[in-house]
Amino acid sequence: MVKFLTFSLSIATISWIVGMLITALISKTGFHNRKLSKLNFINNEKINRLIGISPFKWIIMHSFFKCFNPKLSVPKRILASELDEYRSEMTKAELNHVFAFIFMIPFILVKIYYGLYLFALVMLLTNILMNLYPTLLQQRNKRRIDRYLSVLNRRTIKSSAVQDKMAHSNLNLLSSETQNLKYD
């Protein structure tokens, strides 16, 4: 059993490297910008709670795992102007884990093919904990950022509309005053 776990952890670590390489190769493509940056496996917050994303987040934030990606470790409040960059880094981390998850699947299938079901189960559980859950956590955080950015955009648009109305009414007022001056 220890052998299964150490092998699974080793493959998971290698899968992270493979995931980073694949993400680096495709990050500048149109496919990445159009499709991959908008991935969302589970939209329902109830399902996220049921599968334990919140406890997983707590474990990540209160363990050595928080040091793995310093760009996502935020000791301070994030400014609204930093959110796009933060979301971009989050998308990279998410895709690293997606590709790492996919990389481990053939190893699991080989173990199943050879009848090593317990070994395959340990690898699958390791893959879920080290790649799928981090992906789901990143997606949840991206949705939160997107909601916040949406609120900011609505406020900006609303504020712009109010300013436009004020400017338009000021122009009307100025125009009527100038017409009054012409007739005086």
In single-letter form, the type of residue at position 174 comes to L
In a domain, 172, yes or no: no
In a domain, 113, yes or no: yes
User: Residue 124 — very low, low, confident or very high, per pLDDT cuts 50/70/90?
Assistant: very high
Tokens (6 digits) for 50: 């049921």
- The whole-chain average pLDDT of the chain stands at 82
CB 111 within 8 A of CB 119: yes
> What is the pLDDT at residue 101?
96
Return the H-helix or E-strand segment holding 75: none
- b or e along 26-57 (b: 16 or more beta carbons within 10 Å of the residue's beta carbon)? eeeeeebeeebbeeeebeeeeebeeeebeebb
Tokens (6 digits) for 94: 């998410």
CB count, 10 Å around CB of 122? 21
DSSP 8-class letter at 130: I
In a domain, 151, yes or no: no
In a domain, 128, yes or no: yes
Tokens (6 digits) for 28: 């500048």
| ∠ CA 163-167-170, rounded to 5° | 140
Tokens (6 digits) for 145: 């950022």
In a domain, 181, yes or no: no
Cα gap 124→7, rounded to integer Å: 12
CB 66 within 8 A of CB 60: yes
User: Residue 75 — very low, low, confident or very high, per pLDDT cuts 50/70/90?
Assistant: low
Mean pLDDT within 128-139: 92
In a domain, 163, yes or no: no
> What is the pLDDT at residue 17?
94
| ∠ CA 176-178-181, rounded to 5° | 110
In a domain, 11, yes or no: yes
Range of the domain at 116: 2-141
User: Residue 98 — very low, low, confident or very high, per pLDDT cuts 50/70/90?
Assistant: very high
How many structural domains does the chain have?
A: 1
Share of the chain above pLDDT 70, in %: 82
Backbone phi, psi, residue 43, to 5°: -85, -30
Cα gap 91→26, rounded to integer Å: 12
pLDDT > 90? residue 62: no
In a domain, 63, yes or no: yes
Mean pLDDT within 73-94: 78
